Amino acid sequence: MSFNRRHFLELAAGTTAALAAPAVIGRAKPRVVVIGGGAGGATAARYIAKDSKGAIDVTLIEPSRVYYTCFFSNLYLGGERTMQSLAHTYGKLASTHGINVVHDWAVGIDRDTRTITLASGYKMGYDRLILSPGIDFIAGAVEGWDTSKQNKMPHAYKGGSQTELLKAQLEAMPQGGTFAMVAPPNPYRCPPGPYERVSMVAHLLKQKNPTAKIIVADPKPKFSKEALFRDAWSRHHQGMVEWVGPDFGGKNVSVDADAMVLKIDGEAVKVDVCNVIPAMKAGRICEVAGITEGNWAPVSGHTMQSRVDDKIYVLGDATNQGDMPKSGYSANSQAKVAAMAVRAELTGSRMFPAKFSNTCWSMLGTTTVSKWVPPTRPLTRKSQKWTALSAKPVRAANCARPPSRKAWAGTTASPLTCSAKPRTQGLKA
Ligand SMILES: Cc1cc2nc3c(=O)[nH]c(=O)nc-3n(C[C@H](O)[C@H](O)[C@H](O)COP(=O)(O)OP(=O)(O)OC[C@H]3O[C@@H](n4cnc5c(N)ncnc54)[C@H](O)[C@@H]3O)c2cc1C
């Protein structure tokens, strides 16, 4: 990694001293600090550094040296991808774009002095701060579960070791055993994520453990792409998946991790693997910064600027971003909007109207579909609704994805331009 500790100490000392100067103009280079090197933060850092061509000093703070994506992690669980294929490092951001990559946690943000404190004790100043810390879990959301239980009952809703743990548990399940999932309430990261996971777990079990059962306890009466998932479960994984909605107790669950028991409406079910995905909120550093309202950080839909502090921009899952789904795709497009806005503020570069987009595909299985199913009706700005696709094999003249022997459920859309009502004009998954 590019970070040189001594250089950083000097930089930190220099930048903290310079904090007294309120305006950016007059200083050699404005400083942007990005907290969180995931889908949103790494993209924002890259675009600011690349497009400002050295005019802005960019620092990225991220504790992990390797970022394992959540996207495609379900395919890893299903045996369709390797863990290595989910791994991304930060070297190129430093070597190609000159970004200072600092592997540490941000633990404090003083908005008055525009100072960030890192876990190592270092302090650094900023002119603009971008936060993209993803999600954290709401304590007590599932009775009997907290993060101290995550090694027995993994969430696997942040990439990396949790995903590997869940996969190992699935592989070790006894023949005819039970996999249970406690699904999260809205809003949460990746609306179809739990249901793609169910499909991929079923896909794996069908091959290795065909008499196994899957129970999903869900507090929501309906879920993303429900018709497509239900259709796929009945056609590809018949009899394996039991979905328990709120009417039948899916909202009233508790777990006992030591006994490996899931209770649904008081009824105890002995399980072999239990994937608990609790209710979510913005990554904790947003609370520390004091920029949340309720569980999320409200932002302007034109710039991704915090509605609490105009020197701070917030991206990705941590935001209250209207109807946009909490997805990597959304985070990526939000990052580009924020990068443009930050650059315009700091260097006077041109600002174009914000454009956001999201496309979402979930893998269902790999055996029965012979051609990829293209969008039958692309999203129009007029309808602003996502088009759900059926999985019937069709001829695709302008197929954007090569035909394969894999079945997908999906939604797609053309980009939306943010205009009069950005907070309600988002995208639905
Ligand atoms: C199972 C699953 C499947 C998914 N599939 C898809 C998909 O197919 N398509 C899609 O578009 N999206 C998908 N997603 C959603 C996607 O992963 C997230 O929406 C996306 O990662 C959000 O980006 P982010 O930048 O907000 O957060 P993240 O990508 O989570 O990045 C946050 C980063 O911030 C860092 N961080 C947190 N706190 C601090 C701190 N205090 N100091 C420094 N760094 C900090 C973390 O280490 C992390 O690297 C999926 C999610 C899951 C769980």
Better-predicted residue by pLDDT, 321 or 154: 154
Summarised one tens digit per residue, pLDDT across range 60-118 is 999 999 999 999 999 999 999 999 999 999 999 999 999 999 999 999 999 999 999 99
Predicted pLDDT of residue 322: 83
| Residue 385, amino acid | K
Summarised one tens digit per residue, pLDDT across range 278-299 is 999 999 999 999 999 999 999 9
Predicted pLDDT of residue 406: 67
Sign of the alpha-carbon torsion through 112, 118, 121, 125: negative
Q: How confident is the model at residue 365 (pLDDT cuts 50, 70, 90)?
A: confident
CA of 277 to the centre of ligand 1 (A): 15
Mean pLDDT of the chain: 85
Distances 55 to 59, 79, 177 between C-alpha atoms, Å: 13, 45, 59
Summarised one tens digit per residue, pLDDT across range 325-355 is 999 999 999 999 999 999 999 999 999 999 9
Q: How large is the average pLDDT for residues 31-54?
A: 98
CA of 177 to the centre of ligand 1 (A): 31
List the residue whose alpha carbon is closest to atom 6 of ligand 1.
Answer: 71
């980009």: which residue's tokens?
415
Residues in the chain: 429
Backbone angles phi, psi at 53, to 5 degrees: 50, 50
How much of the chain, in percent, has pLDDT values that exceed 70? Answer: 79
CA of 108 to the centre of ligand 1 (A): 21
Residue of 157, 137, 135, 158 whose CA lies nearest to 147: 137
pTM score, two decimals? 0.85
Ligand 1: which of 85, 167, 190, 337 to mutate, most ligand atoms within 8 Å of CB?
190
Summarised one tens digit per residue, pLDDT across range 180-229 is 999 999 999 999 999 999 999 999 999 999 999 999 999 999 999 999 99
Sign of the alpha-carbon torsion through 20, 22, 23, 24: positive
